[in-house]
Structure 1
Amino acid sequence: MTILDNFPAFLLVFMRVSAFFVTLPLFSYRNIPNIFKIGFSFFLAWIMLLTLDPPVIPIDGNFFLLILKEAFIGLAIGFIAYLILAAVQIAGSFIDFQMGFAIANVIDPQTGTQSPLIGQFLYTFALFLMISLNAHHLLLDGVYYSYQFMPIDAFLSLENENIAKFIIQSFNSMFIIAFQMSIPVVGSLFLVDIALGIVARTVPQLNIFVVGLPLKIGVSFIMLIFVMGGLFVLMQHLFETMTITMRGLMELFGGVGNGMD
Structure 2
Amino acid sequence: MIAPGFAGVETQLWIWLIAMIRPGAAFIAAPVFGANGVPLQLRLILSLGLGLAALNSVTIELPADGVASFQGFMLVAGEVLAGLALGFAVQIGYAAAFVAGETIANAMGLGFAAMVDPASGQPTQVVGQFLSVLATFMLLAMDGHLMLASFVVQSYTALPPGGPLLSNDAIWGLVEFGGALLGAGVTIALPVAFALVLVQVVMGMLARTAPSLNLFAVGMPVALMAGLVLMAISLPIMGEGITISLKAGLEKAQSIAEGR
TM bracket, shorter-chain basis: 0.7 to 0.9
Give the Cα–Cα distance (whole angstroms) in 1 for the partners of residues 60 and 133 of structure 2.
Answer: 42
Give the Cα–Cα distance (whole angstroms) in 1 for the partners of residues 9 and 247 of structure 2.
Answer: 38
What are the equivalent positions in structure 2 for 1:48-87 lying under 5 Å apart? Answer: 48-49=54-55, 51-54=56-59, 56-60=61-65, 61=69, 62-87=71-96
The alpha-carbon deviation at position 35 of structure 1 amounts to 1.2
Give the Cα–Cα distance (whole angstroms) in 1 for the partners of residues 171 and 77 of structure 2.
Answer: 20
The alpha-carbon deviation at position 110 of structure 1 amounts to 2.2
Residue 102, structure 1, aligned to residue 107, structure 2? no
Partner secondary structure for residue 86 of structure 1: helix
1:211 is aligned to 218
Give the Cα–Cα distance (whole angstroms) in 2 for the partners of residues 184 and 63 of structure 1.
Answer: 51
Partner secondary structure for residue 180 of structure 2: helix
The alpha-carbon deviation at position 57 of structure 1 amounts to 3.4
Partner secondary structure for residue 37 of structure 2: coil
Which residue, 20, 23, 32 being the options, matches 2:26? 20
More moved, 164-173 vs 189-198: 164-173
The alpha-carbon deviation at position 85 of structure 1 amounts to 1.0
Query: Normalising by the residue count of structure 2, what TM-score does the alignment of the two structures yield?
Result: 0.88
CA deviations on 1:141-176 (whole Å, 9 max, x unpaired) are: 221111232112303155x3x356423421232112
Q: Is the 8 A contact 1:77 1:250 kept in 2?
A: yes
1:170 is aligned to 177
2:100 is aligned to 91
2:240 is aligned to 233
Q: Is the 8 A contact 2:19 2:48 kept in 1?
A: no
The alpha-carbon deviation at position 94 of structure 1 amounts to 0.4
CA deviations on 1:8-63 (whole Å, 9 max, x unpaired) are: 443222111111111111001111111111122112212222x2141543452323
Q: Is the 8 A contact 1:9 1:54 kept in 2?
A: no
Residue 197, structure 1, aligned to residue 204, structure 2? yes
Give the Cα–Cα distance (whole angstroms) in 2 for the partners of residues 157 and 174 of structure 1.
Answer: 22
Q: Is the 8 A contact 1:89 1:122 kept in 2?
A: yes
Q: Is the 8 A contact 2:96 2:242 kept in 1?
A: no
Give the Cα–Cα distance (whole angstroms) in 1 for the partners of residues 19 and 122 of structure 2.
Answer: 30
Could you say what the CA RMSD is over the residues aligned between the two structures, in angstroms? 2.0
The alpha-carbon deviation at position 250 of structure 1 amounts to 4.3
2:192 is aligned to 185
Q: Is the 8 A contact 2:27 2:87 kept in 1?
A: yes
The residue type equivalent to 1:191 in the other structure is: L
Q: Is the 8 A contact 1:166 1:249 kept in 2?
A: no
In structure 2, do the counterparts of structure 1 residues 229 and 80 end up closer, same or farther at CA, with 3 Å as the change threshold?
A: same
In structure 2, do the counterparts of structure 1 residues 6 and 250 end up closer, same or farther at CA, with 3 Å as the change threshold?
A: same
Residue 132, structure 1, aligned to residue 137, structure 2? no
The residue type equivalent to 1:84 in the other structure is: G
Give the Cα–Cα distance (whole angstroms) in 1 for the partners of residues 251 and 176 of structure 2.
Answer: 12
Q: How many residues align?
A: 249
Unmatched runs of 5 consecutive residues or more in structure 1? 257-261
CA deviations on 1:196-233 (whole Å, 9 max, x unpaired) are: 11111112222111100010000001011111111121
Residue 116, structure 1, aligned to residue 125, structure 2? yes
Unmatched runs of 5 consecutive residues or more in structure 2? 1-7
Partner secondary structure for residue 52 of structure 1: coil
Q: Is the 8 A contact 1:8 1:59 kept in 2?
A: no
More moved, 99-108 vs 184-193: 99-108
Give the Cα–Cα distance (whole angstroms) in 2 for the partners of residues 218 and 238 of structure 1.
Answer: 28
Query: Normalising by the residue count of structure 1, what TM-score does the alignment of the two structures yield?
Result: 0.87
